[in-house]
Structures are given as C-alpha cells and as structure tokens.
C-alpha cells in the first residue's frame, strides 16, 4: 500500500513538472491583456530604449464584423487594411477577426453576449432604442466622446444621432444608404416596358411581366427585414414622411387609414403574385441571386447593392444593364414624392470593458477607419454612401447606376429613417412578424396595423 | 478501516462532492430560473419583481401555444409514424440473410451526420425548382410545392427530415433486441405453422417491447427538445409556422431581451415535459413486464 502511494505521488510530481514546463514555453505570447503593462502606441521612446526595444507583449482585440462572402468583399478588403494599420500603430495589438452573419449577430449573438457580459471589444452595431441605445443605457458600450474629441473627428460625421444617449456618442456609422427600386433594363426592354415614373406605370409593368411568366419583384422574405425595406418606404408615401418619428413618439398611430392603405397595397401585390413565389423560404442572398440571374424585373433594395452590378461584382453580367429609381408617388398620399429613406444606422460599437491596451487599439481602429480616404473608397468601390462630411468633388462616379442614385438623393426634398432606428426592439419584432403574417395570409392589413400599434402602446405605457 | 466504514456519516461524506455539484449545476440554476421567471428582466439591467405576470402572459400568448402544438406534432409523428416504421425496418433488416451489415450501416448513417448538413441536404431536396421532390411531382404534371415556404407544408417537411435523421439510431437499438431473441422461439413457431407476419406480430414484437418502450421514451424526449433542425431549415418560419418551444423561448429572451419572460417560458416547458413524462409512465412504462427467455 505504502509503495503504491509513493509510486502514485512520484508520478503526479513528474507529470505536473512536465506539464508546467510545457505551459511556460510561450509565456510572452500568452500573457493576458489585462495583466500586461499598458503599451503606449504614441509614447516617444528614448534613444537608448529605441536601440534595444523592450519586448512587447502581445494582446488580442476581438473584432466582430459582418463582411461575409463575395457580396461584401470590397468592404472586407477595407476592414483588413484598417486592421493592418492599427496593428502597426499599436505595438503588440493582434486583432482577432470574427465574421458573423448580419442578422445572427444583431438579433442573437451580440444581445446574448451583452447579457452575459462578454461582448467582443469591437463589434458591428446598429443604433436606435432596440440596439445601441439599449446597450449604452446598460453601460455596456464605451463612451466614444473623449476619443472623438482627441482625434478631432466629432464634427466630421453627418449624423450619428441614433448612437447618442445623454449627449454621449456610443457608436459610429460606417456609411449611409438609401433604398429604392433597381430594375433590369434588358428584361423591361424585351417586354416593351419603359422605366416607370408613376405607381400606375410600375403596377402595369408588374402585370405585364407576370403575364409573360417573369417574376416582377425579386423578394426573399425569410428574414422579415428584407420586405420591411419596401414597406418602410411605402408607408411614408401614403402617411407622410414623419410617420416613423410620429409612431415612435406616440403622436401618430399605425392604425391611421393611410398606414393601413400602405399595408393593403403591399398585400395587394402579394395576392396578385408580383413577388417571388415561395418568398417566405428565400433568404436575402437568394433574393439578390434571383435578380442577378436575370429572373426578376425589379428589386427593392438598399444602395449598397450598386457594387453588385460592377463589372467585377457578383452581378457583373448585369453591368450597365440595371437602372434605379425612387418609389413613385401614390394617389392621395401625404408623403413628399421625392423624399427617400436614408439610413446611417449601422457601424461599429466598442465594449465598455477595455483595458488601456485595448483602448489604444480601439482608438487606432477608429482613427484609421473613419477617414475621408475610406469613406470615398467605400463609395466608389462598394456604393456605400458616406457617413462623414466628404469633399463633394470626390464623390463623383463613372458608374451610371451610382449617378442615378446620387441624382435621386440630391433631388430628395426630405429624408426619412427606418422604423428600426426609432422604435424599441419589441415593436420592430412585432412589425416583422406582422409583415410575414401579411405575406402568409395570416393577417389582414387592419389586424397587422392593430397588433403593431398594440406593441407600441405597451412600450410607451412602460416608459411612463 | 472496517470501523470507519460502519459509520454512516462516512458514506454521507462520500456523496457530498456529488451533492455539491448537483446543487451547483442543477438545483441552484433551477431555483434561480424560478426567481427570474417572476421578474421583468432584460438581461442588462437589474430584475424587477412582477409576481406571476410572466406566467399569465404565457398562458395568453397565442404564439407560445402554437410552438407547444408544433412540439406535440413532433411527438405524435414520432409515436405514430416513426416508431411503427422503426419496428418495420428492424424486422425487415433482421430477416435479411445477406449484406445485413451494409443495411445496418446505411440506416445508421444519417444519425452521425450533423444537423446542419442534413438541413442543407434536405433543403436542396425540398427546393421548389431544382429539388428532388418537385421534380418527381413534375413527372406527373403536378404543380411544384413550396415545401419550406408554405405554411401548410413546412411542418410536415421538417417532421420527415427529423424522422430520417433519427430513425437509423433507433433501428439499430431495436435490431439489437431482435437479434438477441433466442432463435429457438421463432423456429418452434415456424414448425407450428406460424407465418412470417404472425411470428413478427405475435412473437418478436412483444418480446422487444422493453426496447420499444425505451425508443418511445427517447422519441418523446427528443421531440421535446427539438430545435436545431428547425433553426437550420426554416428558422421557425414561414410566418412562425414551424416555431417550437425552445426556439420561441430563445427568441423571446435573446432577440427581444425579455429574459424574465423567457425564463418563465422555460419553466412552463419544464412543467409540460414533466406532465408528458407522467403520461408516458402511466400509459406505457408501468405496463412493462420483465421478459425472461
């Protein structure tokens, strides 16, 4: 018994010394960020220090982005460049890229991480009460105001209001976008249809295409935010450009006849079969692919889609064959017929839980990403409209599609936001649910409007 | 040593670590869930006690009961379609003289594939224009069916896929039981003039009832916690038609930040599972007799 005990004890000792030897091999690289002394990227080192630089301890900075796949390759390239520059500026910084699909990040992963208290240090973030503002109020986001002041770029943004809570900035929009109709010129020409100017012409075009066996509107409603884009423009055309803000602050109602009329118009298009068959089972990529493959005449999408039709884009086959126009006026509608939906609600946010090293890396990331150079490149390569004040002379494009987008935006009398940047997450969720119910025939326009308003009323009552 | 082992407190000492772990990882979270189920909590700010509000809300939540109903479809499909098919295939394979190993491996294969792969694979088969099923329908001049996009078909499509994934595992279980039955019993019946069907129905099936009981229990448990195949194939859609309890609960808690309500739903799911287990015990398990050959 005694002999056995000695043998076991000796084995444990040998094993533990071997394992501890393995563990100490790469100590420098494995040092935890919080334990490492603060590396000061801009600190001026003395000549003697420069001659024999002190070993810099590596630290990781997690970066969650949504630039996945071929459709996002231009934006991913910009992000990679920015990360390289930031790593070069901050000794020891190692950005760990974590690519997650947009909806999954926004609706599932990031909220779960926020609740668990372990979000990435840098992450893709939406503004508004359902996202950024909610996290900021819970002290989960880094207050960027001092960093923006230090970098001198606070006044360079055109609008970051959806990221502001109590006059502090908690997120920075990476770009802006408008939403409107893209159309396939070849399909329209082949069917004797001119680019529609009015709602009547647009609906006549849908009818003609449907009669010829061509899907009028490419639509993938598996994720409800996709059809929501079209409704988000259709509703202000009927009910006025202040409807989003009005519903959010309680001064307007979803149950107003004009809003119901917009929902009814959408339902009418569903019932007439203008959208892709089986749209509830098709995702956003599937929608884009259908249009790119030349199977649908129209597509309602954001202006970020412009780059898809570049010669080297996924939809290169349609290069020069796609046109763009804003949603036409609707009969008796209260909305300005030239106004466009304009969003600057998506960008980056940063965890409040950062040490000095990580904060330096965050600062370098912001400094390198939010520059005129990348705003212009994002615009030219990817069709992302700038979220910062950029020299207008640099915002020219040889791309005829982009020229149409710019002309329509320039002619816009007003702009209006998306509901999701103004209403709480539960109301946005109810909106999405009712849109899908409308498409599936499970709700009438009146019932859908009532349910959304009920959710909004509950939120407004809770605020009181 | 012997003296020590005669002391009952020593045994208590032995089970203490296990009890500690059980308390830490099971009892404590359950109690905590009960507490959060009684609060309005968004996961970010401190919870506010609201009494039974969440449970009242859950009882009136039409969408939650739709998801409960969908879980029931899984259970019913398992019991009345899957289990009979499992027994049928097991009997057929047990009767095969050649290539039995090949058949066993083939039916077992789906259960070692990941749900994501199965979801994508069957997604192609259900594809409206290029899918296998619609091509088949096309041969008879039938209109394509939007299997995963149509609220009428989506649930059935997922039930079939889920059954395909798990049947092989259960078939192997039942097959092992069939092959363990002494051959003499069947041979004696054969000499007495029993047909193949009679032997399967009157002899083999009753003798493998304990294993079938386990299969039924596992099917119910599997149907209660099903969520992955739904998330991969339809994400609860179209328009909530395939939402199950687990996906609904996760959605409420994570997406809408209603952690208090989500926790209350989890308690209700726990209670529903308990009720079903009780029903299973009364209807099925208690009737089992020990079989000795």
In 3-state terms, what secondary structure has residue A299?
strand
Assess contact for B236 and B248: CB atoms under 8 A: yes
Asked if A436 lies within 8 A of B239 by C-beta distance, the reply is yes
Q: Could you tell me the two tokens for B288?
A: 């089992």
The contacts of residue A454 (CB under 8 Å, 6+ apart) are A430
Q: How far is A245 from chain B (nearest CA, A)?
A: 21
Whether residue B7 is contained in a domain is answered as no
Chain A's closest residue to B126, CA to CA, is A281
Digit-coded pLDDT (tens) for A317-344: 999 999 999 999 999 999 998 999 999 9
Q: HSE of B222 in the Cβ direction (CA atoms, 13 Å)?
A: 23
Please state the separation of Cα A353 from the chain's center in Å.
23
Q: Could you tell me the two tokens for A185?
A: 């010129």
Would you give the end-to-end CA distance of chain A in angstroms? 74
d(CA A262, CA B125): 37
Nearest CA-CA partner of A244 in A120, A421, A122, A407:
A421
Q: Domain range for residue B68?
A: 38-125+153-287
Angle, helices B259-283 vs B28-37, to 10°: value is: 120
Question: In A, residues 240-279, which contact B (CB 8 Å cutoff)?
Answer: 277-279
Complex-level ipTM:
0.82
Chain A's closest residue to B231, CA to CA, is A104
Whether residue B218 is contained in a domain is answered as yes
**Chain A residues lying within 8 Å of B227, measured CB to CB:** none
Q: How far is A446 from chain B (nearest CA, A)?
A: 17
What value, to the nearest 5°, has the Cα angle with vertex A176 and ends A171 and A181? Answer: 145
Q: Is B70 exposed, middle or buried (0-12, 13-18, 19+ CB in 10 A)?
A: buried
**pLDDT attached to residue B7:** 86
Say yes or no: A111 contacts chain B, CB-CB below 8 A.
Answer: yes
- Tracing tokens 């039981």 back to the chain, one arrives at B177
Assess contact for A39 and A90: CB atoms under 8 A: yes
The contacts of residue A116 (CB under 8 Å, 6+ apart) are none
Asked if A115 lies within 8 A of B259 by C-beta distance, the reply is yes
Please state the separation of Cα A46 from the chain's center in Å.
44
In 3-state terms, what secondary structure has residue A165?
strand
Question: In A, residues 119-158, which contact B (CB 8 Å cutoff)?
Answer: 134-135, 137-138, 140
Please give the tally of structural domains in chain B.
1
Asked if A439 lies within 8 A of B239 by C-beta distance, the reply is yes
CATH of the domain at B184: 1.10.3720.10
d(CA B258, CA B263): 9
- Tracing tokens 């149907």 back to the chain, one arrives at B223
Assess contact for A300 and A179: CB atoms under 8 A: yes
Q: How far is B198 from chain A (nearest CA, A)?
A: 46
d(CA A352, CA A451): 36
Q: Is the dihedral of CA A441, B257, A115, A63 positive or negative?
A: positive
Residue of B149, B150, B240 lying closest to A433 (CB–CB):
B240
* For testing contact with chain B, the best of A109, A130, A280 (most B CBs within 10 A): A280
Whether residue B131 is contained in a domain is answered as no
**Chain A residues lying within 8 Å of B257, measured CB to CB:** 111, 115, 134, 425
Asked if B257 lies within 8 A of A134 by C-beta distance, the reply is yes
Asked if A111 lies within 8 A of B149 by C-beta distance, the reply is no
Q: How far is B148 from chain A (nearest CA, A)?
A: 6
Q: Order of strands across the sheet with A346-350? A: A93-99, A59-65, A122-126, A346-350, A171-173
Assess contact for A243 and A250: CB atoms under 8 A: no
Q: In terms of DSSP bridges, do strands A322-325 and A177-184 run parallel, antiparallel, or are they unpaired? A: antiparallel
Whether residue B181 is contained in a domain is answered as yes
Say yes or no: B43 contacts chain A, CB-CB below 8 A.
Answer: yes
Q: Is the dihedral of CA A103, A106, A111, A114 positive or negative?
A: positive
The pLDDT-based confidence of B95 (bands split at 50, 70, 90) is: confident
**What is A62-176+344-390's CATH topology?**
D-Maltodextrin-Binding Protein; domain 2 (3.40.190)
Flag whether the pTM goes above 0.90: no
- Tracing tokens 């979803």 back to the chain, one arrives at A254
Assess contact for A218 and A291: CB atoms under 8 A: yes
Whether residue B103 is contained in a domain is answered as yes
**Residues carrying CATH 3.40.190.10, chain A:** 62-176+344-390, 178-342+411-463
Chain B's closest residue to A109, CA to CA, is B254
Assess contact for A368 and A293: CB atoms under 8 A: no
Asked if B43 lies within 8 A of A440 by C-beta distance, the reply is no
| The dihedral formed by the CA atoms of A305, A307, A309 and A314, expressed in degrees to the nearest 10 | -90
**Chain B residues lying within 8 Å of A442, measured CB to CB:** 151, 239
Give the right CATH number for A178-342+411-463 from 3.40.190.10, 3.30.390.50, 3.50.50.60, 3.30.2130.10.
Answer: 3.40.190.10
Q: How far is A430 from chain B (nearest CA, A)?
A: 10
Q: Could you tell me the two tokens for A435?
A: 């849109």
User: In this structure, what are the phi and psi dihedrals at residue A63, rounded to the nearest 5 degrees?
Assistant: -130, 110
Helix (H) or strand (E) holding A382: helix A372-382
Whether residue B31 is contained in a domain is answered as no
C-alpha distances (whole Å) from A125 to each of A181, A372, B26 are: 26, 21, 35
Say yes or no: B44 contacts chain A, CB-CB below 8 A.
Answer: yes
Number of H helices, E strands in chain A: 19, 13
Whether residue B239 is contained in a domain is answered as yes
Give, for all 464 residues of chain A, the pLDDT tens digit.
455 545 545 554 444 444 444 444 343 333 333 333 333 333 333 444 444 556 678 999 999 999 998 878 888 999 999 999 999 999 999 999 999 999 899 999 999 999 999 999 999 999 999 899 999 999 999 999 999 999 999 999 988 999 999 999 999 999 999 999 999 999 999 999 999 999 999 999 999 999 999 999 999 999 999 999 999 999 999 999 999 999 999 999 999 999 999 999 999 999 999 999 999 999 999 999 999 999 999 999 999 899 899 888 889 999 999 999 999 999 999 999 899 999 999 999 999 999 999 999 999 999 999 999 999 999 888 888 999 998 888 888 888 999 999 999 989 888 999 999 999 989 999 999 999 999 999 999 999 999 999 999 999 998 77
Q: Could you tell me the two tokens for A132?
A: 């950024």
Whether residue B147 is contained in a domain is answered as no
């Amino acid at each position: 018994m005694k002999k056995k005990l000695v043998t076991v004890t000796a084995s444990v000792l040998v094993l533990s010394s071997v394992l501890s030897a393995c563990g100490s091999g790469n100590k420098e690289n494995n040092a935890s960020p919080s334990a490492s002394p603060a590396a000061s990227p801009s600190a001026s080192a003395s000549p003697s220090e420069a001659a024999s630089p002190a070993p810099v301890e590596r630290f990781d900075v997690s970066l969650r982005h949504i630039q996945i796949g071929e459709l996002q390759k231009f934006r991913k390239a910009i992000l990679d460049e920015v990360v390289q520059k930031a790593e070069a500026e901050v000794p020891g910084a190692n950005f760990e890229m974590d690519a997650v699909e947009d909806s999954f990040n926004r609706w599932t992963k990031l909220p779960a991480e926020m609740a668990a208290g372990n979000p990435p240090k840098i992450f893709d973030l939406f503004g508004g009460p359902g996202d950024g503002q909610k996290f900021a109020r819970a002290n989960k986001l880094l207050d960027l105001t001092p960093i923006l002041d230090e970098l001198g770029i606070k006044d360079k943004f055109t609008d970051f209001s959806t990221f502001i809570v109590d006059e502090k900035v908690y997120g920075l929009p990476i770009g802006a976008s408008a939403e409107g109709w893209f159309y396939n010129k070849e399909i329209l020409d082949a069917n004797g249809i001119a680019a529609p100017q009015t709602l009547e012409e647009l609906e006549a075009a849908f009818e003609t295409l449907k009669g010829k066996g061509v899907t009028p509107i490419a639509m993938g409603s598996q994720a409800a935010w996709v059809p929501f884009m079209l409704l988000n423009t259709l509703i202000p055309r009927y009910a006025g450009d202040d409807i989003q803000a009005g519903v959010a602050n309680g001064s307007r109602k979803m149950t107003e006849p004009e809003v119901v009329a917009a929902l009814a118009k959408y339902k009418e298009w569903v019932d007439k079969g203008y959208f892709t068959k089986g749209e509830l089972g098709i995702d956003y990529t599937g929608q884009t692919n259908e249009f790119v493959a030349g199977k649908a005449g129209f597509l309602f999408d954001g202006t970020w889609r412009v780059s898809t039709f570049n010669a080297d884009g996924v939809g290169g086959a349609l290069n020069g064959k796609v046109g763009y126009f804003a949603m036409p006026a609707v009969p008796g509608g209260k909305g300005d017929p030239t106004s466009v939906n304009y969003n600057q609600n998506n960008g980056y946010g940063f965890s409040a839980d950062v040490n000095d090293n990580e904060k330096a890396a965050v600062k370098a990331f912001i400094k390198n990403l939010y520059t005129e150079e990348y705003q212009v490149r994002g615009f030219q390569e990817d069709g992302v409209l700038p979220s910062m004040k950029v020299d207008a002379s640099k915002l020219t494009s040889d791309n005829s599609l982009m020229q149409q987008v710019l002309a329509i935006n320039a002619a816009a009398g007003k702009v209006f936001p998306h509901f999701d940047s103004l209403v709480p997450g539960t109301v946005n969720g109810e909106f999405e649910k009712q849109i899908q119910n409308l498409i599936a025939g499970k709700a009438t326009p009146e019932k859908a409007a009532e349910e959304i308003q009920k959710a909004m009323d509950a939120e407004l009552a809770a605020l009181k | 040593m012997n003296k020590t082992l005669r002391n009952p407190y020593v045994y208590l000492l032995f089970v203490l670590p296990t009890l500690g772990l059980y308390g830490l990882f099971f009892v404590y979270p359950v109690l905590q869930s009960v507490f959060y189920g009684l609060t309005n909590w968004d996961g970010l700010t401190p919870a506010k006690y609201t009494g039974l509000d969440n449970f009242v809300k859950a009882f009136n939540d039409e969408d939650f009961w739709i998801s409960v109903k969908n879980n029931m479809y899984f259970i019913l499909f398992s019991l009345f379609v899957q289990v009979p098919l499992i027994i049928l295939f097991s009997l057929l394979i047990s009767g095969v003289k050649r290539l039995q190993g090949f058949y066993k491996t083939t039916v077992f294969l789906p259960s070692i594939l990941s749900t994501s792969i199965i979801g994508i694979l069957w997604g192609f088969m259900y594809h409206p224009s290029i899918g296998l099923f619609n091509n088949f329908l096309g041969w008879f001049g039938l209109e394509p069916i939007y299997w995963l996009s149509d609220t009428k078909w989506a649930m059935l499509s997922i039930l079939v896929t889920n059954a395909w994934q798990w049947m092989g595992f259960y078939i192997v279980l039942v097959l092992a039981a069939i092959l363990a039955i002494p051959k003499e019993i069947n041979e004696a019946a054969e000499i007495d003039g029993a047909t193949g069907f009679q032997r399967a129905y009157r002899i083999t099936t009753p003798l493998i009832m304990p294993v079938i009981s386990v299969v039924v229990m596992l099917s119910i448990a599997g149907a209660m916690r099903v969520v992955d195949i739904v998330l991969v194939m339809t994400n609860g859609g179209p328009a909530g038609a395939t939402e199950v309890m687990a996906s609904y609960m996760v959605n409420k808690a994570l997406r809408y930040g209603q952690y208090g309500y989500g926790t209350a739903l989890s308690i209700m799911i726990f209670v529903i599972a308990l009720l079903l287990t009780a029903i299973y015990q009364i209807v099925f398990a208690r009737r089992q007799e020990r079989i000795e050959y």
